[in-house]
Amino acid sequence: MDQEKIKYHVRGLLEAIGENPDREGLQETPDRVARMLSEVLAGTAYSNHEIAEMFGKTFALTDSEQIESAVVMKDIQIFSYCEHHMALMYDMYVNVAYIPKNKVIGLSKIARICDMASKRLQLQERLGKDIAEIISEATGSPDVGVLITGSHSCMTARGIRNTSAKTTTKTLMGKFRTDKNLQELIL
């Protein structure tokens, strides 16, 4: 990310809304915003493939260890920013399930994948698809389900201002598309 360009534009934004960027309290704001954006949008620097490689540590299963059911992780908390308004998407919870194919992924890696994929300007629908694709590549499994529920400040803090509205999206791949029992696992 171009930190200097971000600082320049944040200063201009402060001026455009009628603020004095040189007043006490705002003098360091352009620098703080630039550092914050580098942190909260760090996933922008990586493709789904690169995230799968970064967090794709798996463990091989022997024939006797093969798992015939899904591995499910629920309530992974994340946040992101809506690409339409650059508004915060918050109180987001992700449920991920996959059916192992000769290997399992480290459990913390599932949460790390969700976190890194969320660190982009996003649509919730795309975020679920990105997480599913990354989990599929990292695990070698075509059978992945992702459920995301969250609040969007573009709905809760502006516009309609409906503070109780939540958005839920499901991304289903492989057997999760047709098997209702598997779909139940991510609910």
What's the number of CA atoms in the CB half-sphere (13 Å) around residue 136? 18
Cα–Cα distance between 152 and 166 in angstroms, integer?
A: 7
Determine the residue type at 133: E
Question: Residues 91, 151: contact at Cβ < 8 Å?
Answer: yes
Tens digits of residue pLDDT in 126-144:
999 999 999 999 999 999 9
Q: Tokens 């899904």 belong to which residue? A: 70
Give the residue numbers annotated as catalytic, written as ranges.
82-85, 124, 152, 154
Cα–Cα distance between 145 and 78 in angstroms, integer?
A: 17
Q: In three state form, how does the secondary structure of 38-51 look?
A: HHHCHHHHCCHHHH
DSSP state of 23: S
Tens digits of residue pLDDT in 59-109:
999 887 888 789 999 999 999 999 999 999 999 999 999 999 999 999 999
In this prediction the pTM is 0.95
Q: How confident is the model at residue 64, as a pLDDT? A: 79
Phi, psi of 73 (to 5 degrees): -125, 130
Of all residues in the chain, the percent with pLDDT exceeding 90 is 96
Cα–Cα distance between 113 and 50 in angstroms, integer?
A: 11
Cα–Cα distance between 166 and 151 in angstroms, integer?
A: 5
Question: Residues 139, 146: contact at Cβ < 8 Å?
Answer: no
Q: What is the largest CA-CA distance in the chain?
A: 68
Determine the residue type at 48: N
Cα–Cα distance between 153 and 86 in angstroms, integer?
A: 9
